[in-house]
Amino acid sequence: MNIHSINLLSRKAGSFCLIFAVLFVLETPPCHAKDKLNVVTTTTNLESIAKAVGGEHVNVSALSTGKEDPHFIEAKPSYMIKAKNADLWIRIGLELEVGYEGLILEGSRNPRIRIGSPGHLDASAGIIPLELPTQRIDRSMGDVHPLGNPHYWLDPYNGRIMAQTIGRRLIQLDPDHKEDYEGNLAAFLLRLDRAMFGEKLVKAAGGEQLWKMQLNGTLENFIKEYNEKVKQADPRPEQERLSLGGWLAIVKPFEHAKLVTYHRSWIYFVRRFNLDVVAELEPKPGIPPGPAHIRDVINTMKSEKAGIIVMEPFYNQLDAKAVAEKADAKVVLATTAVNGQEEATDYIALFDNIVSRLANALHEVSK
Amino acid sequence: MMIDKFQYSLLILLLFCGKGFAQSQNADSEELKLLQQEVSQLRQQFKEESERHSAEMKMLREEIELLKQNQQASIKESVQQATAAESNTPSTTVRGPETSPPNPIAQSFNPDISVIGDVLFHAGKNEENTRKDQFSFRELELAFGNAVDPYGRADLFLGIEEEDSEWHANVEEGYFTFDQLPYDLKARAGKFYSSFGKANQLHTHAMPWVDKPVVIRHFFGEEGMSEAGAELSWLVPNPWNSYMELTFQAQNNGNEASFAGNQSNDLMYVSHLKNFFEIDRESGFELGGSFAAGDNAATNGGHKTNLEGLDLTYKWRPAQEGSYKSLTWMNEFLFSQKEQGVEDTVDAHGFYSSLEYQFSKRWSVFGRYDYSQFPDDSDSHEDAYSVGLTFRQSEYCFWRLQYEHTEPKGNSTTNEDRDELFLQLNFGLGPHRAHQY
């Protein structure tokens, strides 16, 4: 092919571009089914909660698949198209999405989901963030989040708040289906509370009360006193007595077990379930471990008798396995995102999965 | 309560039996009376008993209720305490469910400011002597950006560079973006890189190589093509619901290499169509077509340059191991028709193909092949082969080692092959915005 023909070809290519474009100007845009709200969430956890609360009145999709590190999602143009058609954008917030959200929102050119619009929802509204910096932070500390640790969805109590926040916003955007959203929300909260405390406790005291007692640390006392009262009032029926159920009951035998995690992503979870993190494999958030830090972690695990390393499957498992071998510990791979592992099919199954994997490992280690 | 009823009915049953018994005997009415008295006593007794019982239950219930209330109050208190302790804010600022988290960053209307430094060590033969075998502080980039008002944002990129032992500050880019336009439109005004292909628009710190590809250097100059102008872009609706962006730019024809340079007194027009297709959740490719046209000399109406470009980029990043593995294959073709005089047009072209593979959290290798003629000379060209290694110390700092072998060919060039080695250190301060995909 000589240069002249290449040139001719390229001229054609150039004009082809324009013709292509003009053709699409004439093309009518695809019409969207307007009877359902289009909800786009950054993570699969938000997707799961939004689906539960929105029910049949919403189409929900998440940018992530649940398998990736939620800190490092790329602003793919295809995400901008997803966002372009969204009526509601829900993010985790606390700067978890700082690396890509701005580019996607801007690229979507969708005025409905601009920050500050009713179509933009920060699900962290209403939760109490942990690890808010109390001193001046800089990058020598690694990837510290100035608004607090963003992994708050790993506390089922925060899951309740998130669901309520999402429910309120759906009602605001779609008041016609207020009753349905309220019903879905109540059903979701009931499911979550039952999974957390067990059906019997929820029936006896109600979810709200149980959470209040759980936050207050008086739940066990309540159960004890309740049982005593029942006993005094009527000595006969054993089945009237209350006992801890759900996730709390599964984790209870391992209270204050010592764990090592890869990233500081488990602090909300361990606080709720009374477990202790003694070290992280990352020397600083977002910084991969070096040999000196690995030695330190091994020593800490030995002296603290920590038998478990908990980590998300998307982190480097080789580091963890090396440490586990030397410290005679077990590595527990547990996803912190819905769809991150096969069993984690929704927000509640996510905790089922974490709790059962942890309890199994802790049980084995304690033998 | 169930039990009370049960006992009660048992008693009534007994009573009836007793009545029947009494009737059948019907002899001793005295005894019957006694029995009846006894029964009514029993009845009374039972009534009292059950009343006491239910009162006791009521008390119990009330007690539980009180307990709950106490707990509520103390929970409120403890939550407040927790908030105060955790957020270091006074407990009076406990947030309601719909308010945003307290922002510890003092609200100021300062723009986001980033500073990026680029240090280069160069070794090897370079015939133009533009790169000596020594260290250079290649570039200091200052980036400012933020929303200006509810209608748009501004971004400024100042490049401070050394030239002939003097330091100069250039406006690399500086523009206002109208990002709130209707109909999926967006507009920019100011000075910005032409949307011609991909590599031309990359800032130094965002490039996957130490230097720009040869074809970009030949046709747009060492700094790339960045001119003052205005831009309108549109997200094109399409039946596949895929990303398609059409951009039109009118910019000054001040580019030295392909347009009028110092003699610029007119405009050039750039159009670019960007398509992105997602193959699956882990991979996708971008296909772009570009076109630019303008005068290449001050003479009005004569001496035009037309540029056509085609870019194809394939990216792969696995979901689960995305922090540790990725692959980018980037290709660009450029064709130029530059009129030199009447009936004298130089048809020139060039391209590059670059492959980058990330094999661990911090390390990646890359290779690039360049072929490019010159906009004014299609009889000469350069072939260049580059390989390199990048170490990303953190998100904000990387090292890069690159070896480049260049072979100038053609009748007008008498230069020998060049072998160059670069060591680059690039570091950034501040929030600098996330990179485009």
Counted domains in chain B: 2
β-pairing verdict for A88-91 and A37-41: parallel
What is the nearest CA distance from B232 to chain A, expressed in angstroms?
13
pLDDT, average across residues A121-144: 90
Q: In terms of domains, do B303 and B228 share one?
A: yes
Are B310 and B255 in the same domain? yes
Shared-domain flag, residues B174 and B323: yes
Using a 10 angstrom Cβ sphere, with 0-12 exposed, 13-18 middle and 19 or more buried, the burial of residue B200 is buried
Mean pLDDT of A7-29: 48
B307 to chain A nearest CA, in Å? 9
How confident is the model over B172-187, as pLDDT tens digits?
999 999 988 999 999 9
Higher per-residue confidence, B193 vs B10: B193
Taking only the tens place, the pLDDT of each residue in A149-183 is 999 999 999 999 999 999 999 999 999 999 999 99
Query: Which residues lie across from B314 on neighbouring strands?
Result: B285, B329
pLDDT at B57 over 90: no
Inter-chain contact A111–B180, Cβ cutoff 8 Å?
A: yes
Would B100 be classed as within a structural domain?
no
Q: Average the pLDDT over B363-377 and give the result.
A: 95
Asked whether residue B146 is domain-assigned, the answer is yes
Residue B117 scores a pLDDT above 80: yes
Closest Cβ opposite residue A24 in set B67, B236, B306: B236
Residue-wise pLDDT tens digits, B60-89 = 777 777 666 666 655 555 555 554 444 433
Beta-carbon neighbour count of residue B273 at 10 Å? 21
- pLDDT band (50, 70, 90) for residue B32: confident
Mean pLDDT of the A62-78 span: 92
Give me the pLDDT at residue B225, please.
Answer: 95
B179 and B82 inside one domain: no
| pLDDT (average), residues B359-383 | 94
The pLDDT of residue B434 is 64
- On the question of pLDDT at B437 being above 90, the answer is no
Taking one residue from A and the other from B, the number of pairs with CB-CB distance under 8 angstroms is: 202
Between positions 166 and 225 of A, the ones with CB within 8 A of B are: 168, 205, 209, 212-213, 215-216, 218, 222, 225
Predicted confidence (pLDDT) per residue in A102-115, tens digit: 999 999 999 999 99
Q: How confident is the model at residue B344 (pLDDT cuts 50, 70, 90)?
A: confident
pLDDT higher than 50, residue B99: no
> Quick check: A314 and B321 CB within 8 A?
yes
Q: Of B93 and A34, which is predicted with more confidence?
A: A34
pLDDT of residue B341: 76
Measured distance CA(B391)–CA(A47) in Å, rounded = 36
pLDDT at B62: 72
Residues B16 and B148 in one domain: no
Q: Which of B219, B236, B307 to mutate to test the interface with A (most CBs of A within 10 A)?
A: B236
Rounded to the nearest angstrom, the minimum Cα separation between A77 and chain B is: 6
- pLDDT tens, residue by residue, B190-240: 999 999 999 999 999 999 999 999 999 999 998 899 999 999 999 999 998
Same domain, B85 and B166: no
Task: Convert the pLDDT of each residue in B409-419 to its tens digit.
Answer: 886 556 788 89
- A363 to chain B, minimum CA–CA distance in Å? 28
| Distance of residue B125 Cα from the nearest chain A Cα, in angstroms | 32
Mean pLDDT of B135-145: 92
The pLDDT of residue A296 is 95
CB B373 within 8 A of CB B349: yes
CATH number for B334:
2.40.160.10
Q: Is B256 left (phi over 0), alpha (psi -120 to 50) or beta?
A: alpha
CA-closest candidate to residue B237, choices A121, A339, A262, A28: A28
Res B24 pLDDT > 90: no
Same domain, B218 and B74: no
Q: Say yes or no: B66 and B131 in one domain.
A: no
Final residue in a domain of this structure, among B56, B90, B124: B90
What is the reported pLDDT for B1?
Answer: 45
Q: How large is the average pLDDT for residues A298-323?
A: 93
pLDDT for A25: 47
CA dihedral B201, B206, B210, B211 (to 10 degrees): 0
Q: Both B197 and B310 in a single domain?
A: yes
Per-residue confidence (pLDDT) for residue A229, from 0 to 100: 85
Q: Quick one: pLDDT at residue B10?
A: 52
Buried b (16+ CB within 10 A) or exposed e, B85-110: eebeeeeeebbeeeeebeebeeeeee
- Report strand pairing: B304-316 vs B112-124: unpaired
CB contact under 8 A, B101 and A93: yes
In a domain, B413, yes or no: yes
Residue among B180, B237, B436 whose CB faces A75 most closely? B436
User: Taking CB atoms and an 8 Å limit, are A7 and B347 in contact across chains?
Assistant: yes
Residue B176 lies in domain: 113-429
**Chain B residues in contact with A215 (beta carbon < 8 A):** 75, 78-79
**Looking at per-residue confidence, does B101 or A303 come out higher?**
A303
State residue A134's pLDDT score: 86
Q: What does the pLDDT average to over B159-164?
A: 88
Percent of chain B with pLDDT over 70: 79
Please give the pLDDT value at position A157.
Answer: 96
Residue B298 pLDDT: 64
Residue B58 or residue A54, greater confidence: A54
* pLDDT score for B77: 55
> Which candidate from B291, B317, B320 shows the least CB-CB separation from A14?
B291
B301 inside 8 A of chain A by CB: no
Which residues, in sequence order, are bridge partners of residue B281?
Answer: none
pLDDT at B23: 46
In a domain, B96, yes or no: no
Q: How far is CA B99 from the centre of its chain?
A: 25
Give the mean pLDDT of A59-69. 94
| ipTM tops the 0.85 cut | no
Same structural domain for residues B85 and B123?
Answer: no
Domain final residue, candidates B90, B121, B141: B90
Q: Give a yes or no: residue B101 inside a domain.
A: no
Same structural domain, B118 and B83: no
pLDDT for residue B165: 83
% of chain B surpassing 90 pLDDT: 56
At B263-309, the pLDDT tens digits run 888 899 999 999 999 999 899 999 999 999 999 886 666 689 999 99
Indicate the residue of B72, B101, B184 with minimum beta-carbon distance to A94: B101
In a domain, B208, yes or no: yes
